[in-house]
Chain A
Amino acid sequence: MSHDTLPRPTKTRQPTSLPTPAGRRRRHWTKRANPVAGLGSFLWLIIVIVPIYAMLSASLTSADKALTGNPLKPPTDPTLDNYNTVLTSGFGHLLSNTAIVAVSVVGIVLVLSIPLAYVAVRTRDRWSNAAFRLFLLGVAIPAQAVVVPLYLLIAKLNLYDTLLAVILPTAAFAMPVSVLVLVGTLRDVSEDLYEAMALDGASPLRVLFQLTIPLAKGGISTVVIYAALQAWNGFLFPLIFTQSDEPRVLTLGLFNYVSQFGVNIPALLASVVLSGIPIFAVYLVARRALVGGLMGVGGK
């Protein structure tokens, strides 16, 4: 978010009142090589890369060869058969269901959270404070703990085994963090801008659309990605609120592949790779927004 654009104290040259030893660079972190830290980060790199490499390599190995070889060895004659197996067993349906859930969740979260954050920042009366506090506490509500009563609610609403049964609770549980992120961003908008627009007689609605939303783009894109990730990765709600093939989403499909493909581990891994590709594509495009937005969470 804003951290990347803020002027860093490191970049301002210190006045002579604070002399620094000759030849010392201004940034402590690039000052000198730290071999221990470098070694540690290299070790972690291996821990991150080896499983990913093993997954890619195994997914390209034919099923009958897989059991004889070690997944760390590169495949001798790579094949796309496993990907074919997965793609022809209803993967597209899972993908489109998941996309519907993700888009709907993002839509609901934005429509509900933006006015909320706007009120929390601009209208500091008792009620908007209470609303904000509800979401502050809401961060701590584990989805696990409410899944049984939600099951009852979903059944009573006649939504069991539909995509809506996944969409609505997922959106609700993505709201607390979204509201916090948006409130954080909106607080950075200068009070003067609001006053200027208010003096011009702009209605709150116009202020929201012409000032708040354009200036909160960073926070909004963080929320979009966060909510989409929640929807994309959600497992518990689909597991418990759906049953048939029709509303099945990607994570649940993967879970079913475990029993469906049984010992065909290469096909299983191909399905994992395929499930990661869409989100990885988004990551490549929106890395700055994602990383920048999440980095602000622990600051201060």
Chain B
Amino acid sequence: MTAVVEKRPPGERPTTKAKASSIGRPHAAWALPGVLFFTFFAVVPMALAVYLSFTSWDGLGDPRPVGLDNWQKLLDDPRMTQSLWLTVVLTVASWAFQTVVALLLGVWAAGRQRNRAILSAIFFVPFLLSSTAIAILFYALLDPNFGIIQKDTLGSQSGAFLAIVFVGGWQFIPFHTLIYQGGARQIPEVLYQAAAIDGAGPYRQFFSITLPQLRHTITTSTVLMVVGSLTYFETVLILTKGGPGTDTAILPYLMYEAGFKTYDFGYASAIASFLVIAATGLSLVLVRLTGFGSMRSTREGM
């Protein structure tokens, strides 16, 4: 680029190095509207959530500083402990269920036969319904009088928990299958040919080639699942309302109740701040453990 620019007739354009490399390049300020918009509606609220967690606010009037009261309450609240544990177990169970099914389906669907293409298209349909619609669908299908299973599934603790894991999987496995399908298609064929020559069967090939080659895909999918498990809020709100009792009240649901049911916005903000800290911490741990950070460079040309 610089070499080309130096061939220009002198005087036509300033030929200092800095200018030369910036010809035809947009100014960084072009990013400003987007950055400001996102900052105002996402980053500022995050900081504000932390601030509000040190206040008492009922939604009317102005927030009143109360120091560490909300955080103290958070530590003492037995529902918080239960909810945290529940959120962790739900996330892990959903991750295990969705990863196993999506990985197998995705690798299978990476084939190019016609029936696979059609099946993959059908598999994708649940993802087109909104979380709300899906929650209502299963709310109806699990109804003890009307539903497929003539039992009060949602009335028992394990039933309600498993229902949420299953409904979450039903909705999101199509999406993750697609991710794995994309990942599996990028594995170089040569690896399989070499393995076949060495006498490796399909299962050996799966564990020795497919799985290791998909490690970045597994990471991406896992991060999306972990962040996405927080959106189970709709499913919980509609399917179980946190019940039976408080047995499915995950953290976002607890926050919703504290804020918009009992109007204790300070406490809700403390839960929200905790949620952000936990989510960020978890992402960082995942990045460390799995080398997601190094993916940034291989994302070139994604």
| B interface footprint on A195-229 (CB within 8 Å = 1, 0 otherwise) | 10111001111011000000000000000000000
A99 contacts which chain B residues (CB < 8 A)? none
> Residue B122 at the A interface, CB < 8 A?
yes
A134 touches B38 (CB 8 A): yes
B179 touches A145 (CB 8 A): no
Contact of B178 among A134, A268, A295 (CB under 8 A): A295
Q: Which chain B residues in 112-168 approach chain A with CB under 8 Å?
A: 112-113, 116, 119, 121-126, 128-133, 136-141, 143, 145-148
Q: Which chain A residues in 210-265 approach chain B with CB under 8 Å?
A: 232-233, 235-236, 240, 250-252, 254-255, 257-258, 265
B188 touches A44 (CB 8 A): no
- Count contacts on B: residues with CB < 8 A to the other chain: 120
A115 touches B33 (CB 8 A): yes
| Docked complex Cα distance between A143 and B259 (Å) | 15
Given contacts A128-B28, A149-B45, A298-B220, contact A142 B276 (CB under 8 A): yes
A235 touches B179 (CB 8 A): no
Give the shortest distance, in Å, between A29 (CB) and chain B (any CB): 4
> Residue B89 at the A interface, CB < 8 A?
no
B49 touches A172 (CB 8 A): no
A44 touches B141 (CB 8 A): no
B42 touches A153 (CB 8 A): no
Q: Which chain B residues in 99-113 approach chain A with CB under 8 Å?
A: 101, 104-105, 107-113
> Residue A100 at the B interface, CB < 8 A?
no
Contact of B301 among A37, A50, A55, A187 (CB under 8 A): A187
A54 contacts which chain B residues (CB < 8 A)? 141, 148
B275 touches A67 (CB 8 A): no
Give the shortest distance, in Å, between A53 (CB) and chain B (any CB): 11
> Residue A51 at the B interface, CB < 8 A?
yes
Give the shortest distance, in Å, between B125 (CB) and chain A (any CB): 7
| Docked complex Cα distance between A206 and B193 (Å) | 48
Given contacts A112-B37, A146-B42, contact A208 B26 (CB under 8 A): yes
Given contacts A138-B42, A268-B136, contact A45 B234 (CB under 8 A): no
A149 touches B269 (CB 8 A): yes
A128 touches B31 (CB 8 A): yes
Give the shortest distance, in Å, between B193 (CB) and chain A (any CB): 6
Give the shortest distance, in Å, between B281 (CB) and chain A (any CB): 10
| Docked complex Cα distance between A198 and B296 (Å) | 28
A116 touches B186 (CB 8 A): no
Given contacts A70-B148, A149-B49, A195-B1, contact A18 B190 (CB under 8 A): yes
> Residue A40 at the B interface, CB < 8 A?
yes
A272 contacts which chain B residues (CB < 8 A)? 129, 133, 136-137
B38 touches A135 (CB 8 A): yes
Contact of A14 among B34, B111, B193 (CB under 8 A): B193
Q: Which chain A residues in 1-19 approach chain B with CB under 8 Å?
A: 2-3, 8-10, 14, 18-19
> Residue B252 at the A interface, CB < 8 A?
yes
Give the shortest distance, in Å, between A256 (CB) and chain B (any CB): 11
| Docked complex Cα distance between A192 and B231 (Å) | 43
B49 touches A148 (CB 8 A): yes
| Docked complex Cα distance between A188 and B91 (Å) | 35
| Docked complex Cα distance between A255 and B136 (Å) | 8
> Residue A173 at the B interface, CB < 8 A?
yes
A29 touches B49 (CB 8 A): no
| B interface footprint on A121-162 (CB within 8 Å = 1, 0 otherwise) | 011010110010011101111111111111111000000000
A116 touches B137 (CB 8 A): no
Given contacts A51-B170, A146-B272, A184-B299, contact A207 B24 (CB under 8 A): yes
A122 contacts which chain B residues (CB < 8 A)? 25-26
| Docked complex Cα distance between A183 and B125 (Å) | 28
| Docked complex Cα distance between A49 and B119 (Å) | 11
Closest to A278 in B: B128
Give the shortest distance, in Å, between B283 (CB) and chain A (any CB): 5
> Residue B46 at the A interface, CB < 8 A?
yes
Contact of B48 among A72, A108, A111, A153 (CB under 8 A): A153
> Residue A107 at the B interface, CB < 8 A?
no
> Residue A66 at the B interface, CB < 8 A?
yes
Q: Which chain B residues in 162-213 approach chain A with CB under 8 Å?
A: 170, 173-175, 178-183, 185-186, 188-190, 192-194, 196-197, 202, 205
A251 contacts which chain B residues (CB < 8 A)? 130-133
Contact of A29 among B105, B111, B223, B301 (CB under 8 A): B111
A14 touches B190 (CB 8 A): yes
B24 touches A142 (CB 8 A): no
B180 touches A141 (CB 8 A): no
B193 touches A18 (CB 8 A): yes
- Complex A-B: 9 CB contacts under 8 Å: A8-B189, A34-B202, A41-B108, A45-B123, A48-B125, A140-B283, A141-B42, A233-B131, A254-B136
Closest 10 CB pairs of A and B: A198-B24, A295-B182, A298-B179, A184-B302, A172-B41, A149-B48, A233-B130, A29-B111, A112-B34, A146-B45
Beyond the given A171-B37, A258-B238, could you list 16 further A-B residue pairs with CB under 8 A, ordered by the A residue number? A24-B196, A28-B205, A41-B116, A48-B125, A55-B137, A116-B34, A118-B30, A131-B31, A138-B42, A142-B230, A144-B230, A146-B48, A153-B44, A198-B23, A291-B124, A295-B185
